Amino acid sequence: MARRLIIPLALTLAFVGACSPTTATQGYHDIRANWWSPTLEAKLPTGYRAADIAAAAEGALVRMGYTTTERTESEDRAIIVGEPAQSGLLDKIVIRGVPSGRQFIVKITTRPLGDEDRARITLDEMLVLLGL
């Protein structure tokens, strides 16, 4: 009887623990970035536009050895997709800039499995290019 309860309880605790974000500050201006697998989110200070995010994302991906396979940009949104040179079909990074009031949130999703280190390195590269 006890064994039947232990496995579901362990799975429930593992799932609940995975629901809380990992938060760290990044960049010279201490930008708070939250990791919710498979996506890292960071709110930029006011004054940045979707075009700024798109340019920084593309530059960061190039510096990391990725090829930009998609770039969609408008006044209020940006989506950049990059793939490494020796990648499988699903290996990619998707960077989105979405508005939040007068600020933008950068969302970096690593595929196929969430890779927090790769997402944080990408954000660091972007912040350097944005002067943050």
Q: pLDDT digits over 25-58, tens only?
A: 888 888 999 999 999 999 999 999 999 999 999 9
- pLDDT of 6 reads 46
- pLDDT of 56 reads 98
- Each residue's pLDDT, cut to its tens digit, for the chain (132 residues) gives 444 544 444 444 344 445 678 998 888 888 999 999 999 999 999 999 999 999 999 999 999 999 999 999 999 999 999 999 887 778 899 999 999 999 999 999 999 889 999 999 999 999 999 999
Q: Which of 84, 76, 31, 29 is nearest to 54 (CA)?
A: 76
User: What structural domains and CATH numbers belong to the chain?
Assistant: 21-130 (3.30.160)
Please give the Cα distance from 28 to 40 (Å, whole number).
18
Please give the Cα distance from 89 to 107 (Å, whole number).
21
Single-letter amino acid code for the residue at 42: A
- CA angle, corner 59, sides to 77 and 98, nearest 5? 15
